[in-house]
Amino acid sequence: MMTASNRKSRASVLVVEDDPAILRGLLDVFVFHGYRVEGAEDGVEGLRLCLEGSHDLILLDVMLPGADGLAICREVRKAKPRQAIIMLTAKGRENDILEGFKAGADDYVSKPFSLRELLMRVEAVLRRAGKIVGDEQVMVAGILFDGGNLLASFRERTAELTRREMDIVAYLHRHRDRVVSKKELLKEVWNYADPDVETRTVDIHMLKLRKKICALNPDIALLPTVRGEGYRLEPLP
C-alpha cells in the first residue's frame, strides 16, 4: 500500500493499479493537483481499502492480480451504492467498458490515456458526487422510475437502475418539452468541464437504459434518438 497527501487537498482518491510505474505516476499527479491519494497494487488489498476506507473516488484498473477490477467494482457498488468509481481499461476493449458500466462504474478511461483526459473525468465525477439530481419519481408511459430506490417498474415487472441512468431519466423528464443534446447531457448530468470530449459514455448508457425499458414493456420505445440533435424521453408515435 502507498499513501500520499497534500495540505491543500480537495478530495480523496484511491488508485488500484498493478503496474508500479503507472501507480506511482498517478499518485504523483494527484498529489500535484491537490488531492489526498492512496494506492494499492493488487486486487485483494484494493478491495480491502475500497470497503474499509472512505474515498471520494476510486480509480480502478480492470486487470488486477488477486481479484479483478470488475469483481471489485460489483462488491463496492453493493456495499457503497453512492461510491464514485472510474474504471481503467485497455484501449479498444469495448467489452471491458460495457462490463464496467454493468458492474456499476460511473465512467471509464481507456489506456493509454492523457493526463488531461483523466483529470477531466475525475473532476467531472467528483463535481457530481453528492449532487444527485435524480432522487424523485418519474412516470412515463406507465413506467415508474423511482430515484429513491433506483428501480423502474411496470405492472409486475421491475428493473434495477444505476444512479447515472436515473439521473438521465430525471434530466430528460425535466426537459421533456425539447430535444436534449449529447453535449448537454455530458455537461449537466456527467458534469464534464469540456462537453466536446470524444466519448461513447452517453451512447452506452442509453443502450443499457433502452434494454431495461424494453424488458419492462417490449411494446413501447422510450428515449428515441433525434438524429443529429439528441434525445427525448417520450414514447415513439
pLDDT at 8: 35
pLDDT at 93: 67
Checking if the pLDDT of 213 tops 90, the result is yes
pLDDT bucket at 222, cuts 50 / 70 / 90:
confident
pLDDT at 7: 32
Helices of type H across the chain? 20-32, 43-52, 69-79, 94-103, 115-128, 163-174, 182-188, 201-216
Note the pLDDT tens digit of each residue in 156-188: 999 998 878 888 998 898 888 899 999 999 888
Strand partners, 225: 231
pLDDT at 1: 55
Q: How many CB atoms lie within 10 A of CB 41?
A: 21
pTM: 0.59
Note the pLDDT tens digit of each residue in 67-98: 989 999 999 999 998 899 999 987 556 777 78
| Domains delineated in the chain | 2-128 (3.40.50.2300), 137-231 (1.10.10.10)
pLDDT at 101: 87
